[in-house]
A and B are shown apart, each in its own frame.
Chain A
């Protein structure tokens, strides 16, 4: 139980315990289950699963360019007979839905576990969809661990379940499972048979209609078999307490509900699809009032009501929106007269302060995206944004992202917009400044922007597409991708030639710019807007955070600063507005924050901002 246990390098014993996050625990479980191949695309709150698993050198781990590719890599590995893990955030499963549904039809040889890390409350997401619905939709079982200990145990058991029932298994976490830490008992790695050749099973694995038609009834039978298994499976358990109150719940919500009504009776469902009818009916018969407590959708509640089982309180008590916690559950149950509610959670609390300045995330000092947004704002362009750090260009003072939906959508949506736009009455040509600009990061471009750009070229589009290439997947913490020349396992690899790729897709106008030079950015954007064909402008500079870049800091000469605040358009936390000794408002640069990008200096018309010459530079004169 020490912090310096090297994962995968020790002979683990049952006594060994470690504090792990849910994500680290899933990685540990996959390793213990003998997983051979793991693939993912980074996405909060799922990212650390593969980062952790990659530290175990006996598992092949890879960042796929997107979740669909990751799912297919996992399905191929499982079809070949190896155990495979595929991880993604909730919206990633939308991207991977096509192979996910097919995986349900073809089944597996080696176990296949798909992790969906959902984000109720949208801490770092564009929606809060409840991916348990995918289990029912695709007819696969879904497991919901409530803490890290269960995350590991369920991950191991999911592989047995997958192979026993010939099905992929959805392991669904939420942010509060993935990013909460609790104590986990470590086990050993289970030896798996070596795969030396591919077996052929045409009718099972080739989903032409003739074979798929034969598979469908087997899939429906599998659901019935799984429901029967659920009656006595280790994932579902009854904890009888006060018989006046019965609560059916799952996932981390179980821990909140236990805290809200400590003495109640619980049916804790570790597997929330398919449900065990007899277990539910039996629990119903043992309690006076039955409540279903779950976050987001009434997924369990609807299944139970469809069984004809009476529910005395469900989604009408707890919101469909955002996250729950112990306090919200305690309050909702107290309102309908449930006895034994934890009184501490019912205490009146002062409302949150709404008068304090908010602290939203922002571009780091030195970030190469800053200058691009300074110019986009100046030119007053309509900007179709995408998913990444640069989405923060939507926030003040830039206010320069006007739509952002899903991965890769910037380029294709801007193309759709330009096909609608017409010149005003009497004009023969659209004002170039009215054309939409798409902005997308390198990792997002490789994820799903390539096909969009190919479409722009093929369908005779006319948009300006900016690829902000910072050589990493920055927002999720700096993961490698096909453009970085390095794999998740740390091996050197190929690196996409981005300008050549854009040309190969049919874009003739491809320009690479220095994002720290405002004059250059503006000149190139103006030129490309005037063009009567689509262009790509690549902003090429590495992420200062991930590549640990430190540049000499700038200073503001208080004698020259007139307090015009032009520099504040840089939206940089290194800039500080202050009142000097004679009461004048001026701006200073906080030396411990500044990372020397020089954007504020270029904005200053008084030439008050400069980088002091270093002793070396002076000496070289």
Chain B
């Protein structure tokens, strides 16, 4: 086995978006591909519509389960504002792929704050290589908006060093049996979209 350095992926989103399921898929795919994996998330208060992060790291030998600011190789944003909030965690040259969906935080819903309307421009300015993906639209096309998390995984799948069969096998086991087909369809649509946007460059 070659000496493969640890790769750090930070997933950010909103409670209820399926960040935890996406992390489950990532870690099982990496394990099936022979990597050591560590993954970390916080439960509890964050479930009630709060900001959610999940740290995922894989390599030949992984020590810490946590990413740290300035060292993340891939930031996977499930919601635009939550992508912007964690941009400083990327290392120089790190990749950002994010879902263009916008979800109001509770202070915005209460009329006490405003959602930054130029969120996409702010992301682009700070990270010119950022890849916006309308994962919700892709998931709806596949059959249900609920599969947006899996569509987003599809969008980065070609960029991570894992075989497509492994992805699909893990997804098929991770999602409820009745939703396997729609999730696989969302994953494939995401992958097609990702191919165009990202190219086939690997980490």
Contact = CB atoms under 8 A, between A and B. Distances in A.
Interface stretch (B83-91, B156-164, B178-186, B189-197): B83-91
B169 to A, nearest CB: 9
Given A182-B38, A353-B85, A362-B50, A577 B111 contact: yes
Interface residues of B, number: 57
A618 interface: no
Interface in B104-162: 104-116, 145
A575 B103 CA distance: 11
Interface string B23-51: 00001100110001111111111111111
- Residue among A47, A565, A569, A573 with max Cβ neighbours from chain B (10 Å): A573
B106 A256 contact: no
A54 to B, nearest CB: 17
Contacts of A576: 104, 109
B174 interface: yes
A175 B42 contact: yes
Contact of B173 (A4, A124, A349): A4
A392 interface: yes
A426 B14 CA distance: 54
B97 interface: no
A347 to B, nearest CB: 5
B46 A361 contact: yes
- Residue among B50, B62, B64 with max Cβ neighbours from chain A (10 Å): B64
B65 interface: yes
A421 to B, nearest CB: 32
A123 B65 contact: no
B166 interface: no
B42 to A, nearest CB: 5
Interface in A166-223: 175-176, 179-183
B7 interface: no
Contact of B82 (A258, A359, A396): A359
A300 to B, nearest CB: 19
A403 interface: no
B50 A255 contact: no
Contact of A181 (B15, B38, B45, B145): B38
A19 B112 contact: no
A326 interface: yes
A295 B65 CA distance: 16
Interface string A361-386: 11110000000000000000000000
A259 interface: yes
17 contacts: A19-B37, A147-B38, A147-B65, A252-B65, A255-B63, A255-B65, A259-B64, A353-B85, A356-B85, A357-B114, A357-B116, A358-B113, A396-B112, A477-B47, A568-B109, A573-B109, A574-B109
Interface of A: 1-4, 17, 19, 44-45, 47-48, 123-124, 147, 175-176, 179-183, 252, 255-256, 258-259, 325-327, 344-345, 347-353, 356-364, 389, 392, 395-397, 475-477, 565, 568-569, 571-577, 592
List the 9 closest pairs (A to B, CB-CB), nearest first.
Answer: A124-B44, A44-B44, A361-B48, A349-B70, A362-B106, A361-B50, A180-B65, A359-B105, A357-B113
Given A147-B38, A351-B88, A356-B85, 15 more contacts: A1-B32, A19-B37, A123-B42, A123-B46, A124-B45, A181-B65, A327-B70, A345-B70, A352-B69, A357-B108, A357-B114, A359-B82, A361-B46, A362-B109, A575-B109
